[in-house]
Structure 1
């Protein structure tokens, strides 16, 4: 039985970020900064409430008689109680003999073209630990992109306005960045496990390292660019972020309405149609929040039972990163154009170049992961290199119609010249024949 390390990391980051957020809000209160205090508390308490709701929903506590657990969730102590419960189950699993064991069948990754099916016994304790791991994985994603990402953006913006990074604020921003990167890593692993649910998957340490570097560079550069842009053009920042959010929020619903599929009703049997709609809206809300800061590693498909598109689409990934790079470059150029005197000690051209290179570095580690470190790369119908090659061919194909008319015009001009010359020579031949006669 695996040690529940992911649960421990999730709870540690959750508690550390909550405690530092409360401390920073108290420092803003003592300094008289009421606006920063309220925004810091809001960015802390909203994801806490959503995390409690997700844990209650996944464990189905509302349909069970557990009033003490519900009370602790209302006091925002749910993750700590769940963590204690997980370790109690883990340490008692070897001492108590389980009367009931379930058997699951998983397919191994193909070796030499063959994929064998292996049966595995899962006891009650291991099944409960699996449920807890799944619940904390989803809670980490919610905490990362609905709490830590706005919190990191806010604290970095305050540091730029005050032109000072205190020790407590620096620690707070470091914890928030680690929480976001960990949430993105869990998001990648969840997407892989849902897409390839029938296979026995194991992640190697090099794959974790590639994902960590990929997400660190991508999220850090994205947050810095948004903060720099907001520091010089405050009004337009809301428009940029809101437009990004609305596009990713409504895109899965537009695809669902175009498919004309029936409304999904197999998410949870106990939910009514209204409850299912609320859950789907919250899911698309989280999906939009992830894509504002980084690639979500999956695409929502509301008419699928697993709510995720299981096909590996390289085109959507390529389009996302291309458009995101263009957007980041445009925002940082606007910052460079309208920068104020607070950046007089910053080498702006070098800083712009570093941010763009940082984002390209994130794309590089992403390509390394999908080409060499992905646990299911043998199941890909095409590799990432083939996908990039096909994308480049597609872009070249789009450029051909603009060049095709010029080539056709040249050919038609040559044909017309040749026909005129032929007619001229034939006329001369007729005249010479008449003269000979």
Structure 2
């Protein structure tokens, strides 16, 4: 009887909670809405807003260029506006596989370059419809039986909605990266160069530069988060607000400094900047392929089942091109492995990370130095030396925030075999270790080797002194036993 009473109380409590979260219509139909398991598609909305804002602002700026007969700036602006837009339409169509489905309206909107808008509307419709269920407003006993029978279908509906929204989020993460590094980065570089050459700042151009900088920072942020999620897919990764803030400052300073250095160098040595850009692009484009040939690997066959070998190579080349464009302006946070199913190497390579930032710092220093000696008359009223020092300091701050992120804000930092402080400790204390090599000492406990994600209860750890005493006692007993055996023999 007690168990039955408890069960009835729990059911009445569930119904009362549902009634508090429900709305009763005038026609006697109760609408139960449950959004607890479905997360809003904020990333989809943000990527769509950035896409539309950049496209519209670039179109307005092109019309102004046409009125002032600046056809060179207009042509480049249109090219950097249309190239990422077309690639985004192809990416969304490829991910959602719309070519094999009867959806003429969606395909027509993709032809009008409005694919992200209709996809965003679809995601919002799925979100607002998720968890809604209509049932008759009847007695409590009838409601209990209806709740028992309808619990399964409702949970299935919520799971289906969450999977659909997850597909939209993953698709828009890819499009955000494409928009950022195939459209926004060259667009921002072009508009900064045009501003310096024309020696005046248009409000529309300033708005476009601000939007592109936000888009680039968001794309770099998505790259970092995707790299963490793919590399640690066995764990449920959640980033704290401090981690996002650290990554935003790190990526924003890194990208802004890099683009400014390239623009300043291009104003002094216009034709040489093409050589610098092409060398960077070709190096990072062929680097994964050289590693692939050195390993003598075979191409992954899971890119798309219907693709031929030529189609797979084309897709991998496009993926490698995007990877190269990212590395020209900032650290991509991932390393390509063309033999792997996910095309991304899971191992964290600290040596390559250090080589990239050291090489990029030296390259920015050379670009700024060459600009300082060959700068034009436009910088007569600007302290060029102070500007160059500020750029180098900003890039150093970006590296500092990157180190802070990996040391303190990375969600899986304790799973690293070595962390930032281990590398710094190894470099700084190498001489001291050589001096004290004659002395034997116990290694200090490493911060990065402690476990973070514990699936079972930890056993109490005994102090090092107790373990050493136990080991000495055990060895003493063994020695005594061996001596007794020798005497008996």
Q: Same fold (TM over 0.5)?
A: yes
Asked if residue 187 in structure 1 is aligned to residue 211 in structure 2, the reply is no
Asked if residue 90 in structure 1 is aligned to residue 119 in structure 2, the reply is no
Contact 1:263 1:303 in 2 (8 A): yes
Question: Which string of whole-angstrom CA distances, capped at 9 and with x for unpartnered residues, describes residues 314-335 of structure 1?
Answer: 1100000000000000000000
The separation in 1 between residues aligned to 2:237 and 2:428, in whole angstroms, is 32
- Residue aligning to 1:420: none
- Residue aligning to 1:386: 422
Map residues 29-428 of structure 1 onto 2, 5 A cutoff.
29-96=66-133, 99=153, 123-390=159-426
Over 3 Å counting, the alpha-carbon distance change for 1:333 and 1:65 in structure 2 is: same
Contact 1:262 1:303 in 2 (8 A): yes
- Residue aligning to 1:23: 60
Over 3 Å counting, the alpha-carbon distance change for 1:20 and 1:264 in structure 2 is: same
- Of 45, 48, 52, which aligns to 1:8? 45
Residue 274 of structure 1: how far off its partner (Å): 1.4
Residue 351 of structure 1: how far off its partner (Å): 0.5
Over 3 Å counting, the alpha-carbon distance change for 1:393 and 1:26 in structure 2 is: farther
The separation in 1 between residues aligned to 2:181 and 2:79, in whole angstroms, is 14
Residue 63 of structure 1: how far off its partner (Å): 2.3
Residue 101 of structure 1: how far off its partner (Å): 6.4
Provide the aligned C-alpha RMSD in A.
1.9
Over 3 Å counting, the alpha-carbon distance change for 1:268 and 1:232 in structure 2 is: same
The separation in 2 between residues aligned to 1:204 and 1:84, in whole angstroms, is 29
Compare 91-100 and 224-233 and name the one that shifted more: 91-100
The separation in 2 between residues aligned to 1:391 and 1:135, in whole angstroms, is 42
Over 3 Å counting, the alpha-carbon distance change for 1:154 and 1:281 in structure 2 is: same
Over 3 Å counting, the alpha-carbon distance change for 1:40 and 1:392 in structure 2 is: farther
The separation in 2 between residues aligned to 1:395 and 1:170, in whole angstroms, is 51
Over 3 Å counting, the alpha-carbon distance change for 1:169 and 1:252 in structure 2 is: same
Contact 1:315 1:387 in 2 (8 A): no
SS at match of 1:226: helix
SS at match of 1:197: coil
Over 3 Å counting, the alpha-carbon distance change for 1:27 and 1:394 in structure 2 is: farther
Contact 2:131 2:158 in 1 (8 A): no
The separation in 2 between residues aligned to 1:37 and 1:221, in whole angstroms, is 25
Residue 391 of structure 1: how far off its partner (Å): 5.9
The separation in 2 between residues aligned to 1:316 and 1:190, in whole angstroms, is 19
Contact 1:315 1:391 in 2 (8 A): no
Gaps of 5+ in 1: 103-120, 398-437
SS at match of 1:2: coil
Residue 49 of structure 1: how far off its partner (Å): 0.4
Q: How many equivalent residue pairs? A: 379
Contact 2:130 2:158 in 1 (8 A): no
SS at match of 1:234: coil
Gaps of 5+ in 2: 1-37, 134-149, 434-489
The separation in 2 between residues aligned to 1:142 and 1:392, in whole angstroms, is 40
